[in-house]
Every structure is written in structure tokens, then in C-alpha cells.
Amino acid sequence: MILMINKIFSLNKIDKFTQLIDIKHVFIILLLIIPFLSGCGSAFVASKQDDILTQIDVWSSENEYGKALSTIDYVKKNHPQYQELQIRKKTLLTQATEYEKQIDTQIKTYIKTKKWKQALDLIDQAKEKYPLGESKNRLLAKTEKNLLAQQKKSLTSIDQSIMIERSLWMIKTLPIYHEKLNTDPRNEVLYKQVEKLNQESSELSKKLTLLAEQAIARKHFKTARIRIQQAITLEPSKQRQLILSKLNSQSKKSYLSKQKKKKISQDKSHQTQQNSLLQEIEKSYNRGDFLKTRQLISELDDNGQNDIQLIQIKQELDRSISYTIKQLMSKANKNYTDGQFHQAIELWQQVLMYEPQNVIAKKNILRAEKVIEKLSSLREKQGN
């Protein structure tokens, strides 16, 4: 076919009219051939080779799954390697799936680290190796969709930040320009410049108002109040003032509601704590731990102190402690009489734990310590 085209163009001795006719014929031939060649692609070339599997393995090693799968699909059933190629196709599809997962993971990492160029380049490279048209609903197509969505979201956020920063600059700078124009009212260039800034200020105010309304819809009232205040500063209006009034009212209601809920929560928590203390008091009293019981009782609030069950426990506790002190004093006195001074001191010290101001126990401890000291001194003398 190429030789035919060359032959047509090599005819130099024909007239222009004949040459024009031949050129038209050439174009017609090309139009008929090109679609046929392009439709076959690499599959057409590869199918003519004796060993297609070798080429498939090369493409597989290069992650060129689009070329490999297209070639296998093109091969006819009468081809000697057809059965082997069908088996190889299953392996290729598994490899292609793993390849897509790797690309998806890498692109997600790039998105997280804000490496947008690397992410976009990688998805383009992956699409070349495994075109999205090869099969439906593939992971690669979803990955690209997610990448573009994340990029759009990030760009929207950046544009919004630029707009807000521009608004803040305008709030600070515009009054200075007005002052300058007031000082130099015949300056036509300055007048046009200020007029342009005023128009931009109006547009920014509208955008800030929209952001405030969007924040209200999301119940981000603090952000909404900031944005609407900025919008009013740039261009006051009844509509914006009304939005701010509603936000202030909403803020007050929200604050009171939060305070009420907080108090209810605190009261509930406190009551739970008090109920838990009452249970611990009863348990410690029942196991005879009177000191722990008295300590827990001191931690109760006034309402807890007036609990009927607690009043009964306190009365019984006082009687129990009084009885325990009498028992300890009696044992201590007996130990002292029997000359067991150290044991007596320990018992009187226990009495002081129940009744720190017990004068008798304090005096007896001092008396027993003096006796022990004298006895120790006598032993030392006798030893010498």
C-alpha cells in the first residue's frame, strides 16, 4: 500500500489536473486504511507473531496491561496459542487488580501529603498502562474520580482562604484609600481606583454573607458570626444586620441551654457520687472498718448528711466507736499492769485514732514511755 502511494507521487510528468485527481484517490485510500489499522493497534501486530506469549510477558513486566489484554482479546480461536493465552489472561487480570490497588494506595498517600503533581502524573501513567475503557467500574476509575474530587475540594478551600484574606485586607485598607481620596478629591486616577475597590468590597461582602449562611446551615454559629460581621464591615445592609441579630440571639439561647445542660449533668454526676459514697459507707460499717466509715461520712454534702439511712448509721457508728475505745483502753491498762508496756502503747495509739483528743490515752502513753526509758537505763547499768 505504501509502495502504491509512493508510485502515485513519483509521477512528475503528468499535468496538474491528473495530479489533483490522483491526490484525491490517495486520500480516499488513506481514509479507508487508517481506521482499520488504528482499530487493530498492537493486537493486530502481535497476533501476527508466532509467539504472542513472550510479548505478553514483556508487557506484563512493564505493567502494560491494556496492551496485553487487548492483544489476547483480538487473537482468534484457531490461533495455536489461544488456550494458553486465555489461561494467561486470568493471571493478567489478577496482576492488573493488584496494580490498581498499589496505584490507589500511592495516590491516597500523595493526597494526604498534598503532593498533587505526583498524584496526577501517577494516575495519567496508570491510565496509559491500563486504559479506563478496558473494563467497567474498575478501581482505577474510582481512584481518578476520588483524586479529582479531593483536588476540587482542596482548591475550593484554598480559594475560600484567599477570599477571606482579601476581605481582611480590604477591611483594613479601604478606609485608608477613602481618607486619601477625601484628602485629594480631584485625583481622577485615585477616584477610579477607589471606585474599583468599592465594587470588589461589595462582591466580597456578598461572598462572606453566603459563607455565613452556609455555616448557619451546618450549625457553626461562631464561624457564621465572624463572617457576617466581616460582611457588614465591608458593606452594611439590613439583611446582614438581621442575620447577625438572629445569630446573637441564637448564641445567647445556645449558651443558656449549654449552661443548663452542664448544671444538670454536674448535679446528676454529683448525685451519683453521693449515692456511691452512701453505699461505700454502709459496706465499710458492715465490715467493721469504723475509721473508713467516718472518713467517708465527712465527704458527703449537706443533703447526704441528712439521709435517713445515714443518720441511723452515724448513731450506730458512734456507739460502736465508743464501745471499741472502751475495749482498747481496758486491754491497754491490763497490758500495762502486766508489764507489757509496748503493747499497751500500741493500743492507746489506736484509741487516739478513733478519738484524737482523748487525754487519758495521751497521758498513759507518756507514762508508759517513761517506764520503758527507766527500765532501759537500769538494764544498761546492770550490764556495766
CB burial class (10 A; 0-12, 13-18, 19+) of residue 255?
exposed
Mean pLDDT score of the chain, rounded to an integer? 83
3-class DSSP state of 193: helix
The SS3 call for residue 237 is coil
Residue scoring higher pLDDT (74 or 263) = 74
Decide if pLDDT at 126 tops 70: yes
Q: Rounded distance, CA 382 to CA 359, Å?
A: 35
CA distances from 11 to 24, 38, 146 (A): 15, 29, 58
Q: Cell triple for residue 53? A: 506469549
Residue ranges of alpha helices (H) inside the chain are 2-9, 16-47, 52-61, 65-74, 82-112, 116-129, 139-183, 188-217, 221-234, 238-286, 290-298, 302-305, 308-337, 341-354, 359-383
**Span 313-334, mean pLDDT?**
90
Using the predicted structure, report yes or no on whether residue 253 has a pLDDT greater than 80.
Answer: no
- Considering only CA atoms, which of 281, 283, 312 is closest in space to residue 297? 281
Least confident range of 57-61, 119-123, 225-229, 302-306: 302-306
Cα Rg of the chain, angstroms: 48
Residue 321 in grid coordinates: 466507736
C-alpha separations of 339 from 102, 223, 347, 361, 372 in Å: 88, 82, 14, 17, 10
Find all residues with CB under 8 Å of 101, minimum gap 6, and list them: 139
- Give percent of the chain above pLDDT 70: 84
Flag whether pLDDT at 153 surpasses 70: yes
Using one digit for the tens of pLDDT, what is the confidence trace for 130-141? 987 655 548 899
**Structure confidence at residue 290 (pLDDT):** 83
282 band by pLDDT with thresholds 50, 70 and 90: confident
Query: Considering only CA atoms, which of 218, 238, 215 is closest in space to residue 226?
Result: 215
The C-alpha cell at 104 is 490507589
How high is the pLDDT of residue 133?
66
Half-sphere exposure of 78 (CA within 13 A, CB side): 1
User: For residue 272, what pLDDT band results from cuts at 50, 70 and 90?
Assistant: confident
Model confidence at 114: pLDDT above 90 = yes
Q: CA 322 to CA 325: how far, in whole Å?
A: 5
- How far, in Å, CA of 125 to CA of 110, rounded? 15
Quickly state the pLDDT bin for 21 (edges 50, 70, 90).
very low
Give Cα 279 distance to the centre of its chain: 41
Q: Look at 61 and 293; give whichever has higher pLDDT.
A: 61
Q: What pLDDT shows up at residue 122?
A: 96
Residue range 305-320: mean pLDDT, rounded: 81
Most confident of 37-46, 124-133, 182-191: 182-191
For cell 502486766, name the residue.
338
pLDDT digits over 200-223, tens only?
999 999 999 999 999 999 989 999
